[in-house]
Each structure stands twice: as C-alpha cells, then as structure tokens.
Amino acid sequence: MDNRIITISREFGSGGRTIGKMTAEKLGIPYYDKELIKKVAVETGFDESYIEKQGEDAPSKSIFGYAFAARGMNGAMNGMSADDFLWVIQRNVILDLAEKGPCVIVGRCADYILKERADCLNVFVHADADIRAERIVRLYGESEKSPLKRLEEKDKKRSVYYRYYTGREWGMAANYDIALNSGKLGLERCVELIAELTDIQKALTS
Amino acid sequence: MDNRIITISREFGSGGRTIGKMTAEKLGIPYYDKELIKKVAVETGFDESYIEKQGEDAPSKSIFGYAFAARGMNGAMNGMSADDFLWVIQRNVILDLAEKGPCVIVGRCADYILKERADCLNVFVHADADIRAERIVRLYGESEKSPLKRLEEKDKKRSVYYRYYTGREWGMAANYDIALNSGKLGLERCVELIAELTDIQKALTS
C-alpha cells in the first residue's frame, strides 16, 4: 500500500472538511479546497464565487447561469456548457495537484477523478442528521430554512452533481476505501484512522 | 465511546466473515454466524440448511418455500409468512446475544436490529469485484456460473432482503460507523482498525 493522496468526500455538516484540514496538518502535506477553487478560477476566468457555488452542486442549465459563467471566457468553452467546461478544468487541476505530491483534496469528485491512481486513499465522512444540523447552525448560523432542510438540499445537490459527472451513486460505501461516521467516532479519531492508513505517517514515525 | 458489540455486514467474497472471526479472536469475544443460525434453527424447528439459505437472502414466497419451511412449526407462525417469522426469531436471538455481552455478529441485518444500542459498532466490508471473484473461486471453487454472475446474484439477494426488512439501502456508507475496502486495505489491517475502535481492546492493552 502506498497511499499518498487523500481524497475526502463528505455529507454537509459532517466535519469532513475539518477532518481533511486536520489530517493535512498532522501529516505536513498540502490541503486543497478553497485553494483549489482559486486555482480553477484563475485558469478559467470564472468568477470565484460562481465556482464555489457551482463547482460541486447540481449542474444548472439556467440562462442566468450560462450568461454569468461565460463572462471573460473568450469562447474557450468550445460549445460545452459552463458546467461541463468547469468540470474539465477542475478535473485537470486535480490530476495536476495529485501528480505534484502528497496532499489532501476535499470534495470535487476527486475520488472519481483519481480512481486510476493506486496511491490514492478515498475517504467518505458522514454523520447522523441531528449531529450535522447542530454543527451547521453552530458554524454557519441560523437561516430562514430549518437546519434539516438545509442538509437535505445540500446533500441532494452534491448527490445529483456526483451522479451526473461520475455515473455513480453518492455515499455508497463501495466507492470509498474507508467511510467514517464522524458523529460516532469523533473528528480526532477520524483523523488518526486516516493518517494511519497513509505511508506518509509511517515515514514520519518510523 | 463504549463499543462492545460489533456487527459486520459485507459484500459476498469481501472477506467480511473472516474479518469478523479474526476480530473476535483478537479481542477474545464470541463470534456469531453459523452459531447464530444453529441457535435460530433450534428455536424455530426450521431446517438448518433452509435457514442458512433463507436467513439473509430475498424473501421467497414460493409454495415450495412455505411448505418446506413450515415443517415442524406446529402453527407457531401465527399467520406470518415463513420468512417474516424467521425474521422475528432471528431478531430476538440477535437482541439476546447482544444483551449477554461483547460479541461479533456477522450479517443478518444485525446493524439495523441493534441500531438503538449506543455500544454497537456497525461495520461494512466491501472490495472490488475482481478481488471478490478471485476469492470466491479460491474458497468455494468454480461453478457453472461465472464468478462475477455469482457475486451479482448474491449481492442482489442481500440487498433485496436488507431493503425489505429494514427499509434502508444496502451498502450506503451512512448506515455504518465504518466501511472498509478489504481489497485495498487488506484483511489484517481491517481487523486492526475495527479492534482499535472498541473499548474491549483498550481494556486489554492498558
């Protein structure tokens, strides 16, 4: 086993992003999430906030989406929809990052994009809805929608996006090398388990 | 965290049963699988080979199934189908076993049956089809059906059974506390990870 790249997919509010960040810190390797978004933004000329919103949610085919996304593209999309173009760019960025060296990549279907790499550990993080609801209110505050509704909508969007671009069912255990219930196990324990499965930690501790 | 009961659900050929047995041995606690089947058989008067076949597969409503299953029942089924009656008995046996003390229970929807217990660690074990195909041929020999067909049929049956009795989707990461790719991680590493998450091992090593 030679796990050098860690991809983390996660249910909204499960703490998967925090686990990714903590794992990267523990192992002393780069962590890509907002960084990745910025890199994509620069390469595409897309508006950063648009990418942050659209890069992982359900493809939007609205006129507004096209018009907004196409700004500054100078015809580089070659007839692809804005979403498909973004997918291609994101995919190339993720392939490049993985080529550069050990890292943690959160979200963006990285598990699927890097599925040919033997040195990639694919992780899924989930938790019961009540625990996630409490977490999103604590971290992101209240909104006019109930926390459970917010979870449902966000997970639905991620699920549709994932199915659209990968043909796979989001959240199926078989898509990941390890799937963890962060509510039951705790974030720290999840970080320990993931780090334990990489050769990176072995190198540090041996 | 106080994990004393370990349930293991698994894809056919993933080595989940072996992992369950090895984990029980490592922790010095009972392992229930064929033992469980025998106990159920004694309590119900069902034919043991029938239970082994029907206890985890899709409910069969065939006349043959009923006639065979009902032998020796003395009307104890109270109008339930043979499959439903078997489900109720299996459920009671599993609840009793968990009440008795730390143990490993493989299959039989034990994860769902024990879902109210906070001291239960629910594990799912899976592996890529090629690895599972190689394993079932090595362990159970060739048959007239291709290994991939055998995998598909067995997993389909487990999936239908699970959905029928639990209302859940089989193999969804969210149903388990930890899901492991035994092909990627190796059986020994899976055993280590599971054992690590129980208080049983902590008591032994501290």
Question: Could A181 and B178 be called an inter-chain contact, meaning their C-beta atoms sit closer than 8 Å?
Answer: yes
- Would residue B80 be called left, alpha or beta, if left means φ above 0 and alpha means ψ between -120 and 50 degrees? beta
Distance from CA of A125 to the nearest CA of B (A): 9
Helices A34-44 & A82-100 angle (0-180, nearest 10): 120
For residues B48 and B13, give the distance between their C-alpha atoms in angstroms, rounded to a whole number: 22
- Give the pLDDT score at A119: 93
Q: Tokens 């009440």 appear where?
A: B99
Q: What would you measure as the largest C-alpha separation in chain B, in angstroms? A: 56
A178 touches chain B (CB under 8 A): yes
- Give the pLDDT score at A66: 39
Highest mean pLDDT among A27-36, A80-89, B76-85: A27-36
pLDDT (mean) for A37-65: 61
Task: Measure CB to CB from residue B179 to each of A1, A173, A196 and give the nearest one.
Answer: A173
B176 touches chain A (CB under 8 A): yes
Distances, alpha carbon B19 to alpha carbons A57, A167, B28, B181, B187, in Å: 37, 31, 14, 12, 6
Q: Which of A9, A115, A178 to mutate to test the interface with B (most CBs of B within 10 A)?
A: A178
Question: Could A173 and B172 be called an inter-chain contact, meaning their C-beta atoms sit closer than 8 Å?
Answer: yes
Task: Measure CB to CB from residue B172 to each of A1, A171, A177 and give the nearest one.
Answer: A171
- Give the pLDDT score at A86: 79
Contact list in A for residue B126 (CB cut-off 8 A) is 173-174
* pLDDT digits 0-9 by tens, B138-150: 998 888 899 999 9
Q: Is the pLDDT assigned to residue B135 strictly greater than 70?
A: yes
Task: Measure CB to CB from residue A179 to each of B176, B184, B197 and give the nearest one.
Answer: B176
B171 touches chain A (CB under 8 A): yes
Q: Nearest 5°: phi and psi at A130?
A: -65, -40
Q: Is the pLDDT assigned to residue B178 strictly greater than 60?
A: yes
A193 touches chain B (CB under 8 A): yes
What tokens does B83 get?
A: 């499959």
Give the HSE-up count for residue A12: Cα atoms under 13 Å, Cβ half-sphere: 19
Pairing mode, if any, of strands B31-32 and A120-126? unpaired
Pairing mode, if any, of strands B103-106 and B5-10? parallel
Question: Could A174 and B11 be called an inter-chain contact, meaning their C-beta atoms sit closer than 8 Å?
Answer: yes
- Give the pLDDT score at B164: 93
- Give the pLDDT score at B65: 42
B1 contacts: CB under 8 Å, gap ≥ 6: A184, A185, A186, B197, B199
Mean pLDDT, chain A, integer: 83
For residues A115 and A95, give the distance between their C-alpha atoms in angstroms, rounded to a whole number: 10
B61 contacts: CB under 8 Å, gap ≥ 6: B81, B83
A63 versus B183: which is more confidently predicted? B183
Q: Searching chain A, which residue's CA lies closest to the CA of residue B193?
A: A193
- Give the pLDDT score at B36: 73
B185 touches chain A (CB under 8 A): yes
Q: What is the dihedral of CA B186, B187, B193, B197, to 10 degrees?
A: 160
- Give the pLDDT score at B175: 94
B129 touches chain A (CB under 8 A): no
* pLDDT digits 0-9 by tens, B68-119: 444 444 445 566 777 787 788 888 888 988 998 999 999 889 999 999 999 9
What tokens does A155 get?
A: 């997970």
Q: Is the pLDDT assigned to residue B67 strictly greater than 80?
A: no
Q: Which of B181, B189, B194, B199 to mutate to test the interface with A (most CBs of A within 10 A)?
A: B181
H or E segment at A139? helix A129-140
- Give the pLDDT score at B201: 58
Q: Which of A128, A163, A176, A181 to mutate to test the interface with B (most CBs of B within 10 A)?
A: A181
| Strand, helix or coil for residue B17 | helix
* pLDDT digits 0-9 by tens, A52-68: 666 565 554 443 343 34
For residues B102 and B100, give the distance between their C-alpha atoms in angstroms, rounded to a whole number: 7
B200 versus A115: which is more confidently predicted? A115
Q: Searching chain B, which residue's CA lies closest to the CA of residue A119?
A: B184
How many other β-carbons are positioned within 10 Å of the β-carbon of residue B154? 17
Pairing mode, if any, of strands A178-181 and B178-181? antiparallel
- Give the pLDDT score at B62: 40
A101 touches chain B (CB under 8 A): no
For residues B182 and B203, give the distance between their C-alpha atoms in angstroms, rounded to a whole number: 26
Task: Measure CB to CB from residue A172 to each of B173, B189, B197 and give the nearest one.
Answer: B173
* pLDDT digits 0-9 by tens, B119-132: 999 999 999 999 99
Q: Searching chain B, which residue's CA lies closest to the CA of residue A126?
A: B174
Task: Measure CB to CB from residue A179 to each of B178, B186, B196 and give the nearest one.
Answer: B178
* pLDDT digits 0-9 by tens, B18-46: 999 999 999 999 999 876 766 776 776 76
Q: Tokens 């498909």 appear where?
A: A84
- Give the pLDDT score at B87: 83
For residues B104 and B21, give the distance between their C-alpha atoms in angstroms, rounded to a whole number: 8
Name the nearest CA neighbour of A178 among B24, B123, B200. Answer: B123
How many other β-carbons are positioned within 10 Å of the β-carbon of residue B82? 23
- Give the pLDDT score at A62: 40
Q: What is the dihedral of CA B145, B146, B147, B149, to 10 degrees?
A: -80
A123 touches chain B (CB under 8 A): no
pTM across the whole model:
0.84
For residues A191 and A205, give the distance between their C-alpha atoms in angstroms, rounded to a whole number: 16
How many other β-carbons are positioned within 10 Å of the β-carbon of residue A75? 7
Task: Measure CB to CB from residue B178 to each of A11, A174, A180 and give the nearest one.
Answer: A180
The interface pTM score, or ipTM, of the predicted complex is: 0.82
Q: Which band of pLDDT confidence, cut at 50, 70 and 90, is reported for residue A164? A: very high
Q: Nearest 5°: phi and psi at B64?
A: -60, -45
What tokens does B26 get?
A: 């490592």
Alpha-helix runs per DSSP H in B16-146: 16-27, 34-44, 48-54, 63-69, 82-100, 110-113, 129-140
Q: Tokens 């507004």 appear where?
A: A64
Sheet holding B178-181, edge to edge: A31-32, A103-106, A5-10, A120-126, A178-181, B178-181, B120-126, B5-10, B103-106, B31-32
B59 touches chain A (CB under 8 A): no
